[in-house]
Chains A and B, each alone.
Chain A
C-alpha cells in the first residue's frame, strides 16, 4: 500500500485516484466523488508530514467507501431511491477508525440497493460493470468497491458481507475480499441489512494490505453490543504444515469446470508445500441457502421498517393520508428486489408461519454452526469456491431470482455460522474472467486466514 511521505504527497496519491476514477467513469463505480473533501484532507496530511508530525498508518491512502456506510461526506444512499437526499450527521465507527489513520475517501461506491443482490444490478443508479469484461456483472452487492480496487483506482475499498457480498465480487474481479468473524468490526453507522449476519469487510490487492486494515478497524465498540473484544491484534499465526479441508459436496457438475480446476490446482500447490488435504462431509450446509433466505429477509424487512418517509430521505408527496404516505413512499422508494425480500420477510414472521419458517430456519442455522465446529475439530482451514460460476452476463439472471440466489449457495453458510472467509484470486478462465476461491477458518481465525493465504500464491 502506497502511503504518503515526504517524496510522494497525499495530494499526488489522491489526484491520481481521482483521475483514474474519472477515466473509468463508464464502469459506473461511484455514486459520489469526494474531490474537494479528499483534496482538503490530503493537503492537511501533507502539511503534517512537512512539519515532521506523526501521521497515521494509512496516511494519504485513497480508498472507496461502499455507499451504505454513514459519513458526513456525501449523501449516504445505499444506492436506494428511498435514501436519496440523506446527509448523515454521524460517521460509522469503521470509517472513523480508517480516517483517524489518515485514509482518504475519494468516493462512495455503487451497490445493490440496501445490499440486496449478487450483481449490483439492483442499484437505483444502474449496474457496475465487471473489471475483466464490461458485458458482465461486477458481482454484488459490493460491486462498485470491488471494481474500484480491481481497476487500481484505489488501494482498498470497504464492503459489507451479509451472504457473500464481499467475497463474491472480489472473486468476480480477481482481488482479495475478507468477511471477518461476525462481530470483529463495528456495524455502527452502516445501513443494516440483516443484523445477525452483516459483517464489515475490505477489498485489497494483497494479504498484507488486508492485515493492515484489519488491524486498524477491528475491536469492540460500545455503540455495537455485538462486537467482540479485539482479538485480531492479539492473534499469533504459527507458520507450518496445516490441515486443509475440502468439501466433497461442493465438487459436482453444478460447479463451473474451470472453478473446479482452479480448486484442484490450489490443492496441488498446498500439497506441494507440505500441507495435508482432508476431504470433509458437511451435509448440514445444504440447508444453508434455504435457512439464509428465510432468516435474512426476516431481519432485513424489520431493519427496513424505519424507512417511512417521515424523518429522512425520500418522501412521496402525492399522499393524502398516513397510510398512503407509507405505501407510496415505500413503493416508489424501494427496488423490486427490496420489495421481494420485504414480502418474504414479513411472510416468514407472520403469526401462524413463524414456527414453520423462522424458527425452523433458526434450528437449521444451529446445525450449520455445529457442522463448522465439527469440521474445525479436524482441519485448520477449509478451501472452497466462492460461487459456482464466474461473473455472469449483465441481465442474465435479473428475471430469475432463484438462479440469482443459487449463486450464493457456497457463501451464505459462513454468515450463518459467523465464521470468517477470505476470497483469494485463483487465476482466470480461458476467456479472461477472474476466478476466486475462499479460505474459511473457525471464529476469530481471521489473522491466520490472511497469513495462510500467502501459501496459495
Chain B
C-alpha cells in the first residue's frame, strides 16, 4: 500500500513598516530594551483605541500581488479573544471573516503551483521568557504587523515544503515587505501534515507542527511527520489530530502540552476600526509598485545566467534588482516594473552575465554581501565595467579589482573608467605601442636563448616571453595581443 502525504502551510510574515499596526511606535525593536517600543495603545491602557497603519495596508497589497492574489476591495478586522500575558488587550486584532488578500498561487521553481487560500493582516503578540518561578513579559513585538498566508493543501512532499517556504520567503523579500530575518522570527511556518492511502478520496487526519523558523526545519519536520503517520497507518493505528512541536536537535516532533478541549476564540467584528474600503485606483497604484519577482527573473535571465547561479542570486533581492536595472538600462523608454516580457536583452547580455559572475564570485564568495548589498554600484558603472572588460581594456583580474573599488567610498562616483585609470589597470591594446615594447624585450640579452628555442619549435617558451613583455609594460599589456605580435616577429 502506498501512502500519499498532503500538506498545507500557514506562514506568518512580520512586515517591516516604520511603525506598528495600530500605534505610532517604532516597529523595529532590534537591539532595543524590552518594553521600550510600546505605546499605551500597545499595552492596552483603558480607553485606548487602535489607529490602523495605512502603510501596512499598502504592504499587504504588495505581498498579495507577489502571490498572484486577488486584493479584496472591502476587508475588516476582527477580535480573537484569549487570555495570556503576551496579549495585553486580551484579544488579537486579526481578519477572521473578511481578509484583505484573496485567492492566488505561488509557483515553485520546479513549476509546481501551490494555491493560496487567503492571507490576512493581524497584530503580533508579545514575548514571554520563563524562569523557574516567574516569567518576564516583553511587549516590544506587540502589534508588529503580520501577514498570515494560508495555503491550500497542495503540497505532497517534504522537498516541496522546503521549496514553498523558500519561495514564499523570496517573494516577500523581493516585494520588500519584510526584513526576512528568519533567525529573528521574521517568518514562521506552521505545517499541517496528513497522510492517506493512494487513491483515497478522503484526506487523513492531520497534525499541525507549529512555529518552524527555517526552510530546513520545516522540511525535516514534514519528513519526520510523513514517516511517523505512515508507520502508524501501516500498523493499523490512527493518527491523532493534534498540535506538535519540532525539536531541531533530536529531529523529532512531539505532542505539545495543549489542553484537550478546542479553544474558543469568540471572534467578534472589531468595532474600533471601520471597514477598509479600497478603490481600484488605489489597489492598482500599489500593485504597480511591486518590483520584478523571482519568476520574472527566471524567465528573463534563463539564457544568460546559469540556473544554479541564478537560484543563489535570487536570495538577494538587491542584487537581482541591480541586474534588472542593467537589463533595463539600455532600453530606456520601456515601462519599468513587471514588464519582463517587454524587455529585449541584446546589448546587455554580456553586462548581466559579467555582473552576475562578479556578484557570486566576489561579493557572495567573500561574504561581503551584508554591508555591500544596500550600497551597490550604479547600473551605469557596472555597464561600463562590462564594456571595458569586453573590449579587453581590463583583464579579468583588473575587472574584479575595479569592481571592488566601485564600492570604495573614496572612489565611487568617479565613474568606472576614471577609477580604472587611477588604478593604472587599463590594458595596453595599442598594437603600435605594444610592438615597441616587444622590440625592447626581444633586444634584451636574457631573451635570446628563448627566441632561439622557440624558433626551434619549443612552443612553451612563448609564455616566458609574454611574461617578460608584461613585466616591461608594468602589467598593462593585453597578453593575447602580445602573444600575437611575438608569434609574428619570431616566425
Contact = CB atoms under 8 A, between A and B. Distances in A.
Contacts of B51: 222-223, 225
Contacts of A326: 83
A305 B93 CA distance: 13
| Chain B interface SS verdict (over half) | loop
Contacts of A137: none
Given A196-B271, A312-B45, A354-B267, A302 B79 contact: yes
B47 interface: yes
B48 interface: yes
B88 interface: yes
A70 interface: yes
A189 B267 contact: no
A306 B44 CA distance: 6
Contact of B47 (A192, A298, A310, A351): A192
A76 B46 CA distance: 9
Contacts of A187: 47, 49
Contacts of B273: 225
B407 interface: no
B36 to A, nearest CB: 15
Interface in B40-66: 40, 43-52
B91 interface: yes
B272 interface: yes
A188 B272 CA distance: 10
Nearest to B266: A349
Interface residues of A, number: 44
Given A305-B81, A305-B83, A305-B90, A349 B44 contact: no
A86 B46 contact: yes
A195 B52 contact: no
A457 interface: no
Nearest to B270: A195
Contact of A306 (B88, B272, B274): B88
A311 B45 CA distance: 9
A191 B272 contact: no
Given A90-B40, A311-B88, A322-B85, A188 B268 contact: no
Nearest to A190: B47
Contact of A189 (B47, B266, B274): B47
A224 interface: yes
B264 A226 contact: no
B137 interface: yes
B272 A89 contact: no
A346 B266 contact: yes
B20 interface: no
B118 interface: no
Residue among A195, A298, A305 with max Cβ neighbours from chain B (10 Å): A305
B50 A225 contact: yes
Given A306-B90, A326-B83, A349 B267 contact: yes
A86 B47 CA distance: 13
A226 B79 CA distance: 17
Residue among B46, B266, B267 with max Cβ neighbours from chain A (10 Å): B46
A289 to B, nearest CB: 20
Contacts of B50: 225
A208 B49 CA distance: 31
A191 B44 CA distance: 11
Contacts of B188: none
Contacts of A307: 46
B40 to A, nearest CB: 6
A154 B261 CA distance: 55
Contacts, number: 98
Interface string B163-198: 000000000000000000000000000000000000
A201 to B, nearest CB: 16
Contacts of B40: 89-90
Contact of B274 (A69, A225, A299, A305): A225
Contacts of A358: 268
A86 B40 CA distance: 13
A115 to B, nearest CB: 12
Interface string A246-276: 0000000000000000000000000000000
Interface in A282-313: 298-299, 302, 304-308, 310-312
A124 B313 CA distance: 66
A302 B81 contact: yes
B79 A350 contact: no
A146 to B, nearest CB: 21
Given A302-B91, A349-B268, A224 B49 contact: yes
A86 to B, nearest CB: 7
B89 interface: yes
A82 to B, nearest CB: 10
Nearest to B41: A223
Contacts of B45: 70, 88-90, 312
A305 B79 CA distance: 11
Interface string A75-93: 0101000010010111010
Interface string B272-294: 11100000000000000000000
A33 to B, nearest CB: 22
B112 to A, nearest CB: 35
Contact of B264 (A68, A188, A192, A350): A350
B278 to A, nearest CB: 16
Contacts of B90: 302, 304-306, 308
B138 to A, nearest CB: 13
Given A92-B47, A306-B44, A298 B268 contact: yes
A83 to B, nearest CB: 7
Nearest to A346: B266
Nearest to A224: B49
A78 B266 CA distance: 25
B272 to A, nearest CB: 5
Contact of A195 (B44, B89, B266, B271): B271
Given A192-B46, A192-B47, A308 B83 contact: yes
A73 B234 CA distance: 70
Nearest to A323: B83
A191 B46 contact: yes
Interface of A: 68-70, 76, 78, 83, 86, 88-90, 92, 187-192, 194-196, 222-226, 298-299, 302, 304-308, 310-312, 322, 326, 346, 349-351, 354, 358
29 contacts: A69-B47, A70-B47, A83-B46, A88-B45, A89-B40, A90-B40, A187-B47, A187-B49, A189-B47, A189-B48, A191-B47, A192-B47, A222-B51, A224-B49, A224-B272, A225-B52, A225-B272, A225-B273, A226-B272, A302-B81, A305-B91, A306-B44, A308-B90, A322-B85, A326-B83, A349-B266, A350-B264, A351-B264, A351-B266
> Which 6 A/B pairs are nearest by Cβ-Cβ distance?
A305-B90, A195-B271, A349-B266, A196-B271, A306-B44, A191-B46
Interface of B: 40, 43-52, 79, 81, 83, 85, 88-91, 137, 264, 266-268, 271-274
Given A224-B49, A225-B272, A226-B272, 8 more contacts: A69-B47, A192-B49, A302-B91, A302-B266, A305-B89, A307-B46, A349-B267, A351-B264
